[in-house]
Structure 1
Amino acid sequence: MDATPVWLRERRTGVGRPAERSRAEVTAAAIALADREGLAAVSMRRVAAELGTGAASLYRYVDSRDDLLDLMTDEVAAGYQLPAPDGPWLPQLLEVCRQGRSLMLRHGWLPELVLTRSALGPHGTDLLEHVLAVLAGHPADAGRKLEAFGVMSTLTAALALNELSGGSGARQRQGAYLAHVVAAGRHTHLTAALTGGPLVPAPLFDDTLSRVLVGLLGE
């Protein structure tokens, strides 16, 4: 398999009629399919059908389904609004995370890709550049700033995935099992945590990200 990122590969010209589609159209069709039917539905054959062509024609634009997934992830990153850095770093990074959460809730397949694949294309690189620009005056070293970007992406995806999958039914099942655990009496620390007084609600999205970023980068 070619290890060259898809954005650095020339499109194949093929034989016979000239290509009728563009890589952008292929990517848009894959995103529309994933939005409608989920990530598992995305295959070379299905995306080709969305475009009204044969699967073989897609190989002029991408080598594999992995290429499609990378293109999809990066294309969604075009949806970020990245103004010039201005003011304290934490509110600006939280705004990036909020935008990421919004994009992930809109494209429910995206958190899984962010958590399981490392794909940094043109739009993702613009996002990274913005985060580093926001942190340009921060005393942390470059490695810590790059780590902060990775943590922002991963934690935003994890929290968004929890929102997408944590419906009331799941919470009820979890509550029922925890009640069983407490009644069984074998997990003393967990029982004490659950029965020692009113539970504080889970922190909000901004609060979670703030505490993690401040812990990583300092005030």
Structure 2
Amino acid sequence: MAGQREPVIWLRPEQAPVGRPAERSRAEITAAAVELADREGLDAVSMRRLAAALGTGAASLYRYVATRDDLLDLMIDRTAGEYRLPVPSGDWQADLLEIAHQARQIMRRHPWLPVLVVTRPTLGPHGTDLLEHLLDVLADHPAEAAHKLEAFAVLNALTALFVQNELAAADPSAQRQSAFLSHVATAGTHPRISALLADPQLERNSRDRFATVLTRALTGVLG
């Protein structure tokens, strides 16, 4: 039908229905793409580069993955398979923080992932397992269903932003910005900034800011 959108990749056959028998699997192709992105960054992931890594021709990959967008969706969902999803403890805050800490570790293992989590949220088979786990954790929470979905989105987005900031902090430009802010504080021309940076509580809070901010945000969303 004209204008009808192609279904998500997980609702399509593993391989195009015509042509030679399958020599690869989506899982194999996805694993190679993730490895390439981990090693060289997301910009390096193209059908040509991926085909070279797999020792095949780029055209042959289109029998398994129609577009680069499909490939990105597969990569995102593959990382969601790295979570451990234990039985809920009954403490929803602790359980959601455990999910978030795992998300933080996964995103740091895959530095290309945070920007995709923010810009193209994707739910495949592993992602829906994660969502089901979060809803299980919140099963007895009185929040509305829509707010529980918002909590899932907030957890992912805030974690991605934290990891992006952590990764950027090692960049020389971030160090230059920090040096400039220290100069401003010392100069005394911005007294509120000077007082903020001189507050010893700021350093103490920064040690576990991730858990603190995330707990506040989730509590606010869930009510």
TM-score with structure 1 length normalisation?
0.90
Q: Which residue of the other structure, out of 204, 210, 216, is the alignment partner of 1:211?
A: 216
Q: Where does residue 13 of structure 1 map in the other structure?
A: 17
- For 1:192 and 1:131, how far apart are their aligned partners in 2? 40
Q: Where does residue 103 of structure 1 map in the other structure?
A: 106
SS in 2 for 1:154: helix
Q: CA deviation at 1:168?
A: 6.9
Residue type at the aligned position of 1:21 = R
1:214–1:51: structure 2 CA closer, same or farther, 3 Å change rule? same
Residue type at the aligned position of 1:153 = N
Q: CA deviation at 1:70?
A: 0.5
TM-score with structure 2 length normalisation?
0.88
1:61–1:88: structure 2 CA closer, same or farther, 3 Å change rule? same
* CA RMSD between the two structures: 2.0
Q: Where does residue 120 of structure 1 map in the other structure?
A: 123
Q: CA deviation at 1:93?
A: 0.5
SS in 2 for 1:79: coil
Structure 1: state its 5+ residue gaps: none
Stretch moving more, 155-164 or 209-218? 209-218
1:139–1:96: structure 2 CA closer, same or farther, 3 Å change rule? same
CA offset digits 1:161-195 (Å, max 9, x no partner)? 1112211734431222224545383x564455345
Q: After the TM superposition, which residues 12-51 of structure 1 pair with which residues of structure 2 at under 5 Å, given as runs?
A: 12-15=16-19, 17-51=20-54
- For 1:184 and 1:198, how far apart are their aligned partners in 2? 18
Residue type at the aligned position of 1:214 = T
Stretch moving more, 114-123 or 209-218? 209-218
Q: Where does residue 200 of structure 1 map in the other structure?
A: 202
CA offset digits 1:86-139 (Å, max 9, x no partner)? 221110010000111111111111111111112110100010010011001000
1:216–1:113: structure 2 CA closer, same or farther, 3 Å change rule? same
SS in 2 for 1:215: helix
1:48–1:132: structure 2 CA closer, same or farther, 3 Å change rule? same
Q: Which residue of the other structure, out of 121, 132, 137, is the alignment partner of 1:134?
A: 137
The alignment-based identity, stated in percent, is: 58
